[in-house]
Amino acid sequence: MISERYFNIAILALLIIVPTWAYFADEPFTITLMTRAAIFALAAVGLNLALGTGGLVSFGHAAFFGMGGYVMGILAHHAQTFTPVAEVPFLIEGTKSMPVIWLVSILLSAVLAWVIGFLSLRTSGVYFIMITLAFAQMMFFFSISWSEYGGEDGLSIYVRNSFPGLNTLDPIQFYILCLAILLIVLGAMARVVKSPFGLALNAARQSPQRVDAVGLNVKRLRLVAFIISGAITGLAGALFADLNRFVSPTMFSWQLSGEIMVFIIIGGVGRLFGPVVGALIFVALEHFLGGLSDFWHIYLGLLLLMIVLFGKGGIIGMICGREKSHG
């Protein structure tokens, strides 16, 4: 067994070495793939707080991913067409500034997660899975019918949004930006799971009646976790839209919700780097197998099956063993 810490450091090294190599070897497509993986990882880090720590099996996190995507799409669309987003009750202009887009994505995803969480957390088990799925589907169909923003065809953004001091169109610079965000969020998550909030949330997954009995509010703990979780996935959505310079209703699709969950299951549910490992493997399979066969999802399915059957903690669980309890 390899210590989880060393394993995480190895993954971190991979995130740095591969793009560095690609940069010097002039392989921008590899950098784009790594960017895709980093953004997927970020989306899954968000879900991992709800799913892994909180035990909340949300099958609707595409709602937040798409929300972030559309925030980016709509703001940038208005900026590139020089039209206002809204004039009443007050003037809202579009923007091409990434920090502003991120902030709005985080805020609106958090609000959406608050609403969805508030309504969904009255249920549990299969019902929770279904109701979160239903909310994401609602967003999906709404985005299809919103013809002002491209409806089914989605929205194209001609130039990647800007970040002060960087040329975001340069693949390596955009990658560094995404990686930095991923690492900041991972660092924050490493603290959150050990914080009083994380301890209580983790206990509420294992024994809600105990958490109740010590006078802590289980429902509110879960709701806050869901909101933070949705906000992170929303931020990932904004980055994803910027990577592709394109948003469409597929960002709200149930397949996407499923994929985000799959990243976590492959990597290791509740493990800090589980989402990162899962997203890397997913993007690699998608690229290498997708080139060989249109049915690469079958291989992904097989991998998933093996992991569910043979190793509970995903890849990290198989390599590093059971999570060490912190003393």
Partner 1 sequence: MVEPVLLTEGISKSFGSVIACENVSLDLRPGEIHAVIGPNGAGKSTLISQICGTLKPDNGRIFLHGTDVSSQSVRERSLAGLARTFQISALAMEDTVLQNAVLGALGATGNPWKFLSEALPDPNYRENAELALKRVGLLDFKNHRTAELSHGQRRQLEVAIALTLNPSAFIMDEPMAGLGAEGSKRLTGILDEVRTEAPILLVEHDMDAVFALADRISVLVYGKIIATGTVDEIRNNPAVQEAYLGESK
- Closest listed residue to residue 285, CA positions, set 269, 262, 308: 262
Residue 210 sits in the site that holds partner 1 (CB under 8 A): yes
Q: Is 183 in the site for partner 1 (CB under 8 A)?
A: no
Minimum distance of partner 1 from residue 166's CB (angstroms): 27
- Residue 150 is encoded by which pair of tokens? 């491209």
Of the pair 28, 208, the CB lying nearest partner 1 is at 208
189: which 2 tokens? 């998550």
Peptide bond into 89 cis (omega under 30): yes
Question: What does the block give as tokens for 23?
Answer: 């940069």
Residue 86 or 190 with smaller CB distance to partner 1: 190
Interface segment toward partner 1; rule CB under 8 A; list 16-24, 36-44, 214-222, 230-238 = 214-222
Beta strands in the chain (DSSP E): 84-86, 92-93, 155-156, 246-247
Strands 84-86 and 92-93: antiparallel
How far apart CA 153 and CA 130 sit, in angstroms, is 27
- According to CB under 8 A, which one of 57, 199, 289, 303 is a site residue for partner 1? 199
Q: Is 211 in the site for partner 1 (CB under 8 A)?
A: yes
Minimum CB distance to partner 1, residue 46 (Å): 15
Mark residues 48-87: x for contact with partner 1 by CB under 8 A, - for none.
Answer: ----------------------------------------
What residues between 215 and 254 interact with partner 1 by CB under 8 A? Answer: 215-217, 221, 224
Binding to partner 1 in span 100-129, by CB under 8 A: none
Tokens at residue 251, please? 């960002």
Structure tokens at 281: 């493997």
**Would you count residue 195 as binding partner 1 (CB under 8 A)?**
yes
Contacts of 261 (CB under 8 A, 6+ apart): 44, 47, 51, 57, 59, 61
Q: How far apart are CA 97 and CA 142, in angstroms?
A: 26
1 sits near partner 1 (criterion: CB under 8 A): no
Candidates 73, 198, 237, 274; binder of partner 1 (CB under 8 A) is 198
Q: List the one residue from 3, 191, 255, 312 that touches partner 1 (CB under 8 A).
A: 191
Question: How far apart (Å, rounded) are the C-alpha atoms in residues 291 and 142?
Answer: 33
Return residues touching partner 1 (CB under 8 A). Answer: 188, 191-192, 194-200, 202-203, 206-207, 209-217, 221, 224, 323, 325-327
